[in-house]
A and B are shown apart, each in its own frame.
Chain A
Amino acid sequence: SYELTQPPSVSVSPGQTANITCSGDKLGDKYASWYQQRPGQSPVLVIYQDNTRPSGIPERFSGSNSGNTATLTISGTQPMDEADYYCQAWDSNTGVFGTGTTVTVL
């Protein structure tokens, strides 16, 4: 089965840039989406189609996808960005989520 692998955790200082990677076989040939999940809340879509922000998502969130790796970048990270982040893609008509990354803003 298809797998998407993320680092378990990423730490970033306020105002700095956080990069969260998502690795999967030929992921660049698929569309990657990213979700933010704060404790006790439902996931929220922050990036779709590799690099498109839904309405209402701050410009500091951006994405890229090439080769075997998709990346979510949070520029000028704020304390409110502390959350779990999941990538997601499709393989053979099956939805697949990444293993998840906890972003800590120190």
Chain B
Amino acid sequence: QVQLQESGPGLVEPSQTLSLTCSVSGGSISGGNYYWTWIRQHPGKGLEWIGYIYYSVTTAYNPSLRSRVIISADTSKNQFSLKLSSVSAADTAVYYCASRKAFRDSTHFDLWGRGTLVTVSS
């Protein structure tokens, strides 16, 4: 069974780059079976889709974040990563990695990591 685990710094300074990694166990990220996804949740607020990577090279991003986001994959480590540049306090959130099966009509996120809180502050 596929499991996801986020990791990365819990504190990032304003204007710096937020970097998080999602480690995948029980499945290969290079198999083309899933869209590997990042989602965030501001404190006390709703969920916001950030973007995904598929087959280690195809990406899609939320238009509101597209200019600052890069999602990449490291198949040798079976991990995918999120980089969000020029962060501000508005980027303080719990960041989740999640997966969506890659077959027709699959539009849902069936697996989620536990989430990791990232605070942007000096």
Residue ranges of A at the interface with B (Cβ–Cβ < 8 Å):
1, 30-31, 33, 35, 42-45, 48-49, 54, 86, 88-90, 93-100
Contacts and interface: CB of A to CB of B under 8 A. Distances in A.
A97 B110 contact: no
- 5 residue pairs, one from A and one from B, having the closest CB atoms: A95-B49, A48-B108, A33-B108, A97-B47, A42-B112
Interface string B37-56: 10100000111110010000
A31 to B, nearest CB: 4
B14 interface: no
B108 A93 contact: no
A86 B108 CA distance: 12
B96 interface: yes
Interface in B71-122: 96, 105, 107-110, 112-115
Interface of B: 37, 39, 45-49, 52, 60, 62-64, 96, 105, 107-110, 112-115
12 contacts: A31-B108, A33-B109, A42-B113, A43-B112, A49-B107, A88-B47, A89-B107, A94-B62, A94-B63, A95-B37, A97-B46, A100-B45
A90 B107 CA distance: 7
A86 B49 CA distance: 12
A86 B47 contact: yes
Contacts of B115: 42
A45 B110 CA distance: 6
A97 B49 CA distance: 7
Contacts of B114: 42
A99 B107 contact: no
A1 B63 CA distance: 9
Contacts of B52: 95
Given A48-B110, A49-B108, A94 B60 contact: yes
